[in-house]
Amino acid sequence: MDLLAKELVYKPDTEFHLNNISFGMKKGEIYTILGRTLSGKTTLLKAIAGLVNPQSGRILFDGADLSRVPVWKRNIAMVYQQFINYPHLNVFDNVAFPLRQRGVSDKELKSRVYDAIERVGLKDFESRKIQALSGGQQQRVALARSLAKQAKILLLDEPLVNLDYKLREQLREEFGRIFTSEFSSESILVYSSTDPMEAMQLGGETIVLDEGQILQQGPASEIFENPATTRVAEITNDPAMNLLPGVIEDSKIVIDSKMKLTIPLHFRELSSGQYTFGIRASDISLSKKGHGFTVELAEISGSETFLHARHDDVSLVGQLDLVKNFNVGEAVNLQFDAQKLYAFSADGNLVSSPFQEFGRG
């Protein structure tokens, strides 16, 4: 492991921002820190950068303790969620700033700056003022500055969150391309996000952070397929995975003592008892054979409709692959795909997933 964090604790007031966090990161890899707002993502990145000093714990890079190294001597680059550039400089000088600061020779500086500007798609914008750029372009300048620096650790703190939907989609794709194809094998990339889609798209390793603690760490697909706990299942799905308390009895799944489902194959080793069942919004569909629900809210987004529905104490969100107007209070029949059901034990740990059998039940 090239970057090693050991038992980081940061508690500026009454709440933990980092609660005993340890992890390791390797050069040439992409790491996504996935968590809701206030989960400690920014604090963690700032701790790596040296802008936040954890009260205890250590960060080692290439075997050397970083704790005593001031921010300006650590070889890092960071992009913030706000578009942070130097407003008094133009695009070229913004990107050149960290290189000038390091005394890079004029010739090398020029080639690195032009190269970075081209990579983020801002060619011919070199002499523009920062204020004359759109938000997306400003964020590209910030990214170009961090790329030109060729830092050992590149930190991106929710870089796309303040952009509008379309631009976010476009930039996410470009970021993915820049990072996967042209990223140096000598550097570590840490990307924080609230959006599970971004983690999936970037691939690499995902660290799920919640209330200053690491809940799960592993390849993005692994976390998506086998979320370790109900909380991880909520964080790593958008909309959050529906969690329905229920029981297994007489070879049936019974949710809210009314809805009965046939037991799927991957649940066959689970014993009778209390469980929390998880089903993704996208695995819910309209069907005459389904269970009766009442519509509480319906949102159309692109070619999909998000349906918030309730049946007594059970409320869930379905992501339907169609565009349809539902009226509030309208009765609908929803069917769960039992083959896609997750089962969590009463204390919230995963016991069975459609992708893997645990056989612990």
Partner 1 sequence: MFVVAPFLWALSTSFKDFNSVTGGATYIPWVDFEPSLEGWRVLLRSPAQGGVNIVEPYFNSIAVTCSASFISIFLGTLAAYALSRFTFKAGFIKNSDITFFFISQRIMPPIVLSIPFFIMLGKLGLLDSMVGLVMVYVVLLMPIAVWIMVDFFNKVPREIDETALIDGCNPYQAFYKVVLPNSVPGLIVAGMFCMIFGWTDFFFAFILTFTEVQLLPVAIVALNSSITPWWSLSASALVSVAPLIVVAFIVERYLSKGNLSGALK
Instruction: State in angstroms the smallest separation of the CB of 71 from partner 1.
Output: 4
Helices in the chain by DSSP H: which ranges? 41-49, 91-102, 106-119, 135-148, 165-182, 196-202, 220-225, 230-235
Site string for partner 1, 69-98 (x = CB under 8 A): -xxx-x-xxx-x-xxxxxxx--------xx
Residues in binding contact with partner 1, number by CB under 8 A: 25
Q: What are phi and psi of 130, to 5 degrees?
A: -60, -40
Residue closer to partner 1 by CB (options 82, 285) is: 82
Instruction: State in angstroms the smallest separation of the CB of 129 from partner 1.
Output: 9
Instruction: State in angstroms the smallest separation of the CB of 33 from partner 1.
Output: 18
- The answer to whether 149 contacts partner 1 (rule: CB under 8 A) is yes
Q: What is residue 61's three-state secondary structure?
A: strand
Residue closer to partner 1 by CB (options 100, 123) is: 100
Residue closer to partner 1 by CB (options 88, 166) is: 88
Q: What is residue 350's three-state secondary structure?
A: strand
Cis omega (within 30 of 0) for bond into 98: no
Q: What is residue 329's three-state secondary structure?
A: coil
- Determine which residue in the list 49, 122, 240, 338 makes contact with partner 1, applying CB under 8 A: 49
Give me 101's structure tokens.
Answer: 């600061």
Site string for partner 1, 211-250 (x = CB under 8 A): ----------------------------------------
Give me 335's structure tokens.
Answer: 């069917």
Give me 30's structure tokens.
Answer: 């992409």
Q: What are phi and psi of 189, to 5 degrees?
A: -110, 125
Site string for partner 1, 318-337 (x = CB under 8 A): --------------------
According to CB under 8 A, which residues from 97 to 136 bind partner 1? 97-98, 101-102, 131
Indicate the length of the chain as a whole number: 361
> Following DSSP, what letter does each residue of 182-207 receive, concatenated?
H--TT-EEEEEES-HHHHHHH-SEEE
Residue closer to partner 1 by CB (options 148, 233) is: 148
Residue closer to partner 1 by CB (options 138, 237) is: 138
Of the ranges 17-25, 68-76, 202-210, 216-224, which one interacts with partner 1 (CB under 8 A)? 68-76
Distances (CA, A) of 326 to 201, 241, 353: 32, 22, 32
Residue closer to partner 1 by CB (options 84, 295) is: 84
Q: What are phi and psi of 41, to 5 degrees?
A: -60, -55
Dihedral, CA of residue 26, residue 30, residue 32 and residue 33, to nearest 10: 30
Instruction: State in angstroms the smallest separation of the CB of 145 from partner 1.
Output: 7
Distance CA 40, CA 122 (A): 32
- The answer to whether 47 contacts partner 1 (rule: CB under 8 A) is no
- The answer to whether 51 contacts partner 1 (rule: CB under 8 A) is yes
Interface ranges with partner 1 (CB under 8 A): 46, 49, 51, 70-72, 74, 76-78, 80, 82-88, 97-98, 101-102, 131, 145, 149
